[in-house]
Chain A
């Protein structure tokens, strides 16, 4: 939220275990980076959060991800204020863990849409208390009866991270452009952002899509950056236009190679679709899920141990091609990927 700060933050470098211990707490309102289960999910951080047993989390971001899958698997999420609750490889299908918890009345779901959530974070990032948006008038998303947090009595102004209203529809007052919906800024406490590289001072860089990670970094009070590698700050400053998060908003840096697995970090490694399919299959029975958690979450001593269990062959297959940023060696469907030099559309018709 808008706040006057005396000085820039100084980012500390912690281990994964230390960072989770220091920055997470029961009932925290937090946001995870990336998009769906495929891209730059801070999985190692969520994994360690499960191991340390934090609960009653209020996740405020735009997607189901590997992180929310893990947290829902142990019932750690109390409120999911989001717009899409599928996850990863199972895109289009609901997270089974979430469905189980929701139907048991253990959690609250608050629905928005992708565009609405992106703009809520933009408002949060630029210090605006709210933002107008057109879509989608006439949708049950903006049915006054369907306000889950209001129904739970949480919109009483007591919690500074829960807006007093889900939305307000009003006539656009400046140009007469019909009705718009005013959306409250998103103001979580903690952003957890997985990036490719972080400078030792905190400047962060990723390649590939940005999703809403820059907005999240500015909308949250505290920012933990999980990096594939920590590099000299001076190196990132040779090409500052390639950096997205300036160091002065970052509180903590964790170096965790393969820390987004099984999601992808473009130019580092690809997503592991078969592994995500196994996760989804396990979640369909509580007994199987428990076995999966014992094997992959509680069993390994460290995240490195977890990755080690995957074996060298799998890691080699997932390693990204340095030109395209993804791997053509991993078997995603039923047949291997063909060797391509040029997209067909460009080869035939140019741009």
Chain B
């Protein structure tokens, strides 16, 4: 007999908060939890659709219950019961503080400087954290055309810090993007046509120190050094540093690797599977719990 949600809520604190073993979780779960770990309890978070949203919802239920979630269609502090498929889903608006529109979220909240963490996707990223969601090849005759900025370039440059989720392939991890939608720590100064640190291009604005802080891929977690250059922080279980270097289009700094990406804990997996995405919209499948955990759940 399936348990009610109330009974499942009672169980959360009894599920051990210990790292799961390899094979007990799948990659999207690892990535979603890695996103959740980036969220602090006092963050005001502005996140995009998909795994970023799943990750911050998980954080809101566990490690960052007071983080305020902004969804770009106009939602302030949505408290979701069912995972939204889009940032304008009525599910995301549930029990929110106020509802407005894009002028509220991009103007009153973002440009006004309230947002401390952005969480976004991207098609390609450069070694300075600049992101391309627009086109590959000639801009006017592209070999690949993507959706275009949406909120990516606004959030990625004006949130205090921004993290990205990106599928890692050699052609997606590049020295310099063919089209920079969202500037990273280095970008173009179109007045002089020079490639410069963002701090100089944005000098004098309130956002000169805002920029990318982390990247979560299917292979590892990355951070940025003082020069604004990306480095590998941890590799996912089952992935070697050499494999990561092979899937990177530039000379990657691997001198600061701390080891394996922290595995999700059983409690985190329980919340993610039973409360965040039980409908399996973003997670591809529901994995089985190890016998000891399952017997706790079955009670």
Q: Is B287 an interface residue (CB 8 A)?
A: no
Give the docked Cα–Cα distance between A339 and B278 (Å). Answer: 11
Give the docked Cα–Cα distance between A144 and B94 (Å). Answer: 42
Q: Which residue of A lies closest to B95 (CB)?
A: A343
Least CB distance, A238 to chain B, in whole angstroms: 20
Q: Is A128 an interface residue (CB 8 A)?
A: no
Residues of A within 8 Å of B277, CB to CB, are 333
Least CB distance, B225 to chain A, in whole angstroms: 20
Q: Is A85 an interface residue (CB 8 A)?
A: yes
Contact between A102 and B181, CB atoms less than 8 A apart = no
Interface centre among B100, B121, B153, B208 (most CB of A within 10 A): B153
Q: Is A288 an interface residue (CB 8 A)?
A: no
Residues of B within 8 Å of A324, CB to CB, are 81, 90-91, 94
Residues of B within 8 Å of A340, CB to CB, are 5, 81-82
Q: By DSSP majority rule, is chain A's interface helix, strand, loop, or mixed?
A: loop
Residues of B within 8 Å of A109, CB to CB, are 145, 148
Q: Which residue of A lies closest to B106 (CB)?
A: A115
Contact between A115 and B151, CB atoms less than 8 A apart = yes
Residues of A within 8 Å of B107, CB to CB, are 115, 118-119, 122
Which residues of chain B in 49-74 are interfacial with respect to chain A, using CB atoms and an 8 Å cutoff? 49-50, 60-61, 65-66, 72-74
Which residues of chain B in 85-111 are interfacial with respect to chain A, using CB atoms and an 8 Å cutoff? 85-91, 93-95, 99-104, 106-107, 110-111
Q: State which of B16-24, B187-195, B231-239, B241-249 sits at the interface with chain A.
A: B187-195
Q: Is A247 an interface residue (CB 8 A)?
A: no
Q: Which residue of B lies closest to A170 (CB)?
A: B191
Contact between B90 and A119, CB atoms less than 8 A apart = no
Instruction: For the complex of A and B, list the 4 residue pairs with the smallest distance between their C-beta atoms, beginning with the closest.
Output: A178-B204, A138-B187, A349-B65, A115-B106
Which residues of chain A in 114-144 are interfacial with respect to chain B, using CB atoms and an 8 Å cutoff? 114-119, 122, 133-144
Contact between B190 and A215, CB atoms less than 8 A apart = no
Per a CB cutoff under 8 Å, which of A210, A270, A337 touches B279?
A337
Per a CB cutoff under 8 Å, which of A114, A176, A339 touches B72?
A114
Q: Which residue of A lies closest to B274 (CB)?
A: A338
Contact between A209 and B86, CB atoms less than 8 A apart = no
Contact between A348 and B134, CB atoms less than 8 A apart = no
Number of B positions contacting A (CB below 8 A): 88
Q: Is B154 an interface residue (CB 8 A)?
A: yes
Give the docked Cα–Cα distance between A340 and B154 (Å). Answer: 34
Which residues of chain B in 262-283 are interfacial with respect to chain A, using CB atoms and an 8 Å cutoff? 271, 274-275, 277-282
Give the docked Cα–Cα distance between A179 and B204 (Å). Answer: 7
Contact between B147 and A114, CB atoms less than 8 A apart = no
Q: Is B157 an interface residue (CB 8 A)?
A: yes
Task: Say whether, besides A135-B157, A339-B5, A348-B9, A176 and B204 are in contact (CB < 8 Å).
Answer: yes
Q: Is B6 an interface residue (CB 8 A)?
A: yes
Q: Can you spell out 28 A-B residue pairs with CB atoms less than 8 angstroms apart?
A: A38-B85, A38-B86, A39-B86, A83-B150, A92-B147, A93-B147, A94-B147, A114-B149, A114-B150, A115-B110, A134-B202, A136-B156, A137-B205, A138-B188, A138-B189, A138-B201, A178-B205, A208-B99, A209-B74, A209-B100, A210-B100, A215-B101, A270-B90, A273-B85, A326-B91, A334-B285, A341-B5, A348-B61
Q: Is A306 an interface residue (CB 8 A)?
A: no
Residues of B within 8 Å of A348, CB to CB, are 9, 12, 61, 65
Residues of A in contact with B (beta carbons under 8 Å apart): 34-39, 62, 64, 82-86, 88-89, 91-94, 99, 102-103, 109, 111-119, 122, 133-144, 146, 148, 151, 169, 172, 176-180, 208-215, 264, 266-267, 270-271, 273, 320, 324-326, 328, 332-349, 351
Task: Say whether, besides A134-B111, A138-B180, A84 and B5 are in contact (CB < 8 Å).
Answer: no
Contact between A84 and B157, CB atoms less than 8 A apart = no
Give the docked Cα–Cα distance between A270 and B151 (Å). Answer: 24
Interface centre among B73, B152, B285 (most CB of A within 10 A): B73
Give the docked Cα–Cα distance between A116 and B188 (Å). Answer: 19
Least CB distance, B231 to chain A, in whole angstroms: 22
Residues of B within 8 Å of A92, CB to CB, are 49-50, 121, 147
Residues of B within 8 Å of A172, CB to CB, are 204-205
Contact between B49 and A135, CB atoms less than 8 A apart = no
Give the docked Cα–Cα distance between A78 and B64 (Å). Answer: 46
Per a CB cutoff under 8 Å, which of A35, A111, A142, A344 touches B73?
A35
Contact between B102 and A62, CB atoms less than 8 A apart = yes
Least CB distance, A85 to chain B, in whole angstroms: 5
Contact between A345 and B60, CB atoms less than 8 A apart = yes
